[in-house]
C-alpha cells in the first residue's frame, strides 16, 4: 500500500450507497464461541481483516479447524492444546478473548503481538484468570507477551474483576466461562466502558444456549455445553461512521445498506449521534440514510459506551459550528494508540484548538489548514483523517495501511463512495 495517502478533498455533495463487510466484534465472538462449541458451524459474511484473521489463526494454533468455504468460514472445534504461539497483532479482541480459551487447552500457549500491544492494559484479565486457578507467566504488569499454562480445565467460580480499562476483559472471561468447571460469577471491581460490547457478548452466549444472568455487580455464567450454530454476520457499523460522516461534511447523502433493525453494535447509535450533529437520519428500506444539511452542530456527549466511534466524531467536531465536549473516554488512551493524544495532535494540525481532559477532549474548530498526519497504526485515525480531508484541502496520511486492521480496502471504498452516483 502507498506510504503517504493524499485524502480526497470534496467541495460538492456526496451521493452514494455503501455496503460494508462483517462486524469485527461479532466475528470475533462468533469465532471464539464456534471453537468452544459442541459441533461444527458456518460463519456467513465474517469480517476478513487483520484482527479477525489473527483470531482465526490463534484458534487454529490451539487445535480448532477454521476453513474457508468461499467467503464463509467453517469452524470445527477440536481438543484445545498447546504448545502454541498466538500472534495478537494489535487486536484487543485477540489479547483479551484468547487467554481464557488458552486456559482450557493442555500445554503452554504464548501470546505476543505488535510493539504497541505490549502497552495495552490487560492486568485485570491476568489477575482474574489467576484467581480462577490458571497459571500464567507474564512481565509482572499483566501485559503481553505472556504464557498461559493450560491444564485442560479451569476451576472457575466467583471472581472480582477490574475491567475499568477495557470491557474486553469481561467479554473474554464470559465467552469461555461455560466451559469452566464452575462457570463464572463475575463481579466488577470498578467502572466498565463500552457496555454495548458486553451486551453483545451476553447476547452471543445466549444464542449459543449458554445460561447468563445479570447479577447485582456483574454476570453469572452457568457451566454447560456451548451449542454450535450457524451465523450470518451483521455489517460493521463502526466502520460505517466515516462514510456516513461524509454526508454531513459535504451536505450530501450516504446510505449504508443492510443496517440491522436491532443491534448490540455501538455503531447502532450513529443515527442519534449524527442526528444530534445536524444530519437528517432515516431508516430506509434495509439501510441507514444520512443526509447533510450543510450545518454541522457541535457535540456534547459522553461517549463511554461507544468509544470506538470517537475518532470520526471528533473529526466532525473539528468541522462543526462551535465547541464540542467529548467525555467518558479516558480508556481510549489504551487503544491502538493513545487516541486522546493522537486526536489532539491531528485536529490541532488541521487548525482546530483542542484541550485534553482526563477523560475526554474539548474541540474548537478553526480555519482549516493542510497537514501531513500520522496514522498512529490506528485504522480509525485514518478514517478520521479521511473525514477531515473532505473539508480541508491538502490532508495527507502516512502509513494508511493501518486500515488493514478492520477494513483493508478502505481507501478504495472511500474513492468509490466519492465517485458514486450524483
Ligand atoms: O469487545 C469488543 O469487540 C470491543 C470492545 C471495545 O473495547 P474497549 O472496552 O477496550 O474500548 C471496543 O472499543 C473495541 O473496538 C471492540
Ligand atoms: C479499540 C479498537 O480495537 P481493539 O479491538 O483492538 O481494542 C477499535 O477497533 O476501535
* Domain presence at residue 76: yes
In a domain, 161, yes or no: yes
User: 421: pLDDT confidence band, cut at 50, 70 and 90?
Assistant: very low
- Residue 358 burial (CB < 10 Å; 0-12/13-18/19+)? exposed
Q: Considering the domain boundaries, does residue 273 fall inside one?
A: yes
Is residue 75 within 8 Å of 65, Cβ to Cβ? yes
Residue 227 lies in a domain: no
pLDDT exceeds cutoff 70 at 1 = no
* Distance of alpha carbon 366 from alpha carbon 350, whole angstroms: 8
pLDDT tens figures, 295-327:
999 999 999 999 999 999 999 999 999 999 999
Phi, psi of 281 (to 5 degrees): -120, 130
Residue 131 CA, ligand 1 centroid: distance in Å:
23
Three-class SS of residue 391? helix
Q: Does residue 174 have a pLDDT over 90?
A: yes
Which residue in this structure is represented by grid cell 433493525? Answer: 261
Decide if 229 is inside a domain. Answer: no
Contact 259, 285 (CB under 8 A): no
The residue nearest atom 8 of ligand 1, judged by CA position, is: 166
Tell which atom from ligand 1 comes closest to the C-alpha of 167. 9
Indicate if the pLDDT at residue 26 is higher than 70.
Answer: yes
Cβ(92)–Cβ(50) under 8 Å? Answer: no
Same-domain check for residues 408 and 259: yes
What pLDDT digit, counting tens, does each position of 326-373 carry? 999 999 999 999 999 999 999 999 999 999 999 999 999 999 999 999
Both 34 and 17 in one domain: the answer is no
Among 170, 188, 222, identify where a domain stops: 222
Mean pLDDT within 267-291: 96
Q: Looking at the structure, do residues 295 and 397 belong to the same domain, yes or no?
A: yes
pTM for this entry: 0.98
184 in any annotated domain: yes
Same domain, 118 and 251: no
Residues 251, 204, single domain; the answer is no
**% the chain with pLDDT above 90:** 97
Taking 90 as the threshold, does the pLDDT of residue 286 lie above it? Answer: no
Q: Is 184 helix (H, G, I), strand (E, B) or coil?
A: strand
Tell me which residue range forms the domain holding 66: 24-222
Is 212 a member of any domain? yes
- The answer to whether residues 217 and 356 belong to one domain is no
Last residue of a domain, one of 222, 249, 266: 222
CB of 111 closer than 8 Å to CB of 151: no
Find the CATH number of the domain harbouring 148: 3.65.10.10
My answer on whether 67 and 205 are in the same domain is yes
Among 222, 253, 286, the domain boundary falls at 222
User: For residues 94 and 78, what is the distance between their CA atoms, to the nearest angstrom?
Assistant: 19
CA of 308 to the centre of ligand 1 (A): 7
Cell of 332: 481510549
pLDDT band at 422 (very low <50, low <70, confident <90, very high): very low
**CA 266 / ligand 1 centre spacing (Å):** 10
| Alpha helix positions (H), 86-240 | 92-102, 123-131, 168-177, 195-207
Sheet holding 287-291, edge to edge: 15-18, 253-257, 287-291, 280-284
- 228 assigned to some structural domain: no
Instruction: Say if residue 360 is in the same domain as residue 392.
Output: yes
Same domain? 194 vs 248: no
Judgement on whether residues 72 and 205 belong to the same structural domain of the protein: yes
DSSP H or E run through 30: helix 24-36
Q: In the chain, how many domains are there?
A: 2
Q: Which residue from 303, 335, 382 has its CB within 8 A of the most atoms of ligand 2, so it is best to mutate?
A: 335
Shared domain for 217 and 247, answered yes or no, is no
Give the chain's mean pLDDT.
Answer: 97
Same domain membership, residue 346 and residue 277: yes
Counted residue by residue, the chain has a size of 422
Q: What does the pLDDT look like over 389-415, one tens digit per residue?
A: 999 999 999 999 999 999 999 999 999
Amino acid at each position: 500500500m502507498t506510504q503517504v495517502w493524499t485524502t480526497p478533498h470534496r467541495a460538492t455533495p456526496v451521493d452514494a450507497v455503501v455496503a460494508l463487510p462483517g462486524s469485527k466484534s461479532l466475528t470475533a465472538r462468533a469465532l471464539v464461541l464456534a471453537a468452544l462449541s459442541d459441533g461444527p458451524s458456518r460463519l456467513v459474511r465474517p469480517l476478513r481483516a487483520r484482527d479477525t484473521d489473527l483470531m482465526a489463526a490463534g484458534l487454529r494454533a490451539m487445535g480448532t479447524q477454521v476453513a474457508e468455504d468461499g467467503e464463509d468460514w467453517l469452524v470445527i472445534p477440536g481438543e484445545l492444546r498447546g504448545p502454541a504461539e498466538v500472534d495478537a497483532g494489535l487486536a484487543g479482541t485477540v489479547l483479551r478473548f484468547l487467554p481464557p480459551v488458552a486456559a482450557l487447552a493442555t500445554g503452554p500457549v504464548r501470546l505476543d503481538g505488535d510493539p504497541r500491544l505490549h502497552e495495552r492494559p490487560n492486568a485485570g484479565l491476568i489477575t482474574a484468570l489467576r484467581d480462577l486457578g490458571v497459571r500464567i507467566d507474564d512481565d509482572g504488569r499483566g501485559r503481553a507477551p505472556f504464557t498461559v499454562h493450560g491444564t485442560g480445565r479451569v476451576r472457575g467460580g466467583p471472581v472480582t474483576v477490574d475491567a475499568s480499562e477495557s470491557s474486553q476483559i469481561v467479554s473474554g472471561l464470559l465467552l469461555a466461562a461455560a466451559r469452566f468447571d464452575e462457570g463464572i460469577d463475575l463481579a466488577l471491581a470498578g467502572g466498565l466502558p463500552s457496555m454495548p460490547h458486553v451486551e453483545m457478548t451476553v447476547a452471543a452466549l445466549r444464542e449459543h444456549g449458554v445460561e447468563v444472568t445479570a447479577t447485582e455487580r456483574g454476570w453469572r455464567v452457568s457451566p454447560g455445553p456451548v451449542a454450535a450454530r450457524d451465523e450470518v454476520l451483521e455489517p460493521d457499523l463502526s466502520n460505517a461512521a466515516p462514510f456516513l460522516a461524509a454526508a454531513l461534511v459535504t451536505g450530501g447523502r450516504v446510505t449504508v445498506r443492510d443496517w440491522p433493525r436491532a443491534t448490540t453494535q455501538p455503531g447502532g447509535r450513529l443515527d442519534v449521534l449524527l442526528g444530534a450533529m445536524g444530519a437528517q437520519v432515516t431508516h430506509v428500506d434495509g439501510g441507514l440514510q444520512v443526509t447533510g444539511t450543510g450545518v454541522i452542530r457541535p457535540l456534547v456527549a459522553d461517549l463511554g459506551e461507544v468509544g470506538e466511534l470517537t475518532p470520526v466524531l471528533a473529526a466532525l467536531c473539528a468541522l462543526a459550528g462551535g465547541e464540542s465536549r467529548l467525555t467518558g473516554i479516558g480508556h481510549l488512551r489504551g487503544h491502538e494508540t493513545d487516541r486522546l493524544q493522537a486526536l489532539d495532535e491531528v485536529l490541532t494540525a488541521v487548525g482546530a484548538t483542542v484541550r485534553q481532559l482526563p477523560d475526554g477532549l474539548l474541540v474548537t474548530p478553526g480555519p482549516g489548514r493542510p497537514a501531513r498526519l500520522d496514522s498512529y497504526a490506528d485504522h480509525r485515525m485514518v478514517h478520521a483523517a479521511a473525514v477531515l480531508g473532505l473539508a480541508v484541502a491538502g490532508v495527507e496520511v502516512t502509513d494508511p495501511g493501518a486500515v488493514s486492521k478492520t477494513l483493508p480496502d478502505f481507501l478504495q471504498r472511500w474513492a468509490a463512495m466519492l465517485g458514486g452516483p450524483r
